[in-house]
Amino acid sequence: MTNWPQAELDDVRRLHALAAGIPGAEVTERVFNEPLPAVWDLMWSDGRRFIEFQPDMRSVESVQREGDRITMLVRSTFGMRARLQGVVRPGWCWLQSRFLLIGMAATEDPTGGTRVALTGGVRVPGRAALIPLGVRRESRKSLDRLASKLET
């Protein structure tokens, strides 16, 4: 059908749409004055940079990539390990393991800067839900750490 309506969503709006379907998920946003490529490079780069601003991540042990599909082994600051799988492309990251979800999006903002949105947390085993404790607080911490990296 040629008259079927279509909607184009930027990556931040797409993150909001996905998070809306996950009980306990919260999206936190911030606009940075830097251009999208500079912000995304600090957020992702080769897959190892995101632990620099995610407060509960300590290390990335391996990264395997096939196109935009990725599998990573990560270790938290508390020593727990996760095998994250998902999709990563410029401005978009959606990773999940059995017990963890990480969603990151970045898009150009009309003000000329970059709008960044984060969601994630500990998953409820056996359900498409997050434990809602501290989700916004952790995302704000991540955005604060990202802001300090952009200032240096």
Domain boundaries, the chain: 11-16+24-151
- pLDDT, position 90: 94
- pLDDT, position 1: 58
- pLDDT, position 31: 96
User: Which stretches in the chain have pLDDT values below 70?
Assistant: 1
Dihedral sign, CA of 37, 39, 44, 46? Answer: positive
Q: What is the dihedral of CA 117, 148, 99, 73, to 10 degrees?
A: 110
- pLDDT, position 133: 74
Instruction: Say if residue 111 is exposed, middle or buried (CB neighbours under 10 Å; 0-12, 13-18, 19+).
Output: exposed
Residue 60 tokens read as: 């990335």
In degrees rounded to 5, what are phi and psi of residue 84? Answer: -90, 135
- Homologous superfamily of 11-16+24-151: START domain (3.30.530.20)
Q: What is the CA radius of gyration of the chain?
A: 15
- pLDDT, position 129: 78
**Angle of CA points 19, 103, 26, to nearest 5°:** 40
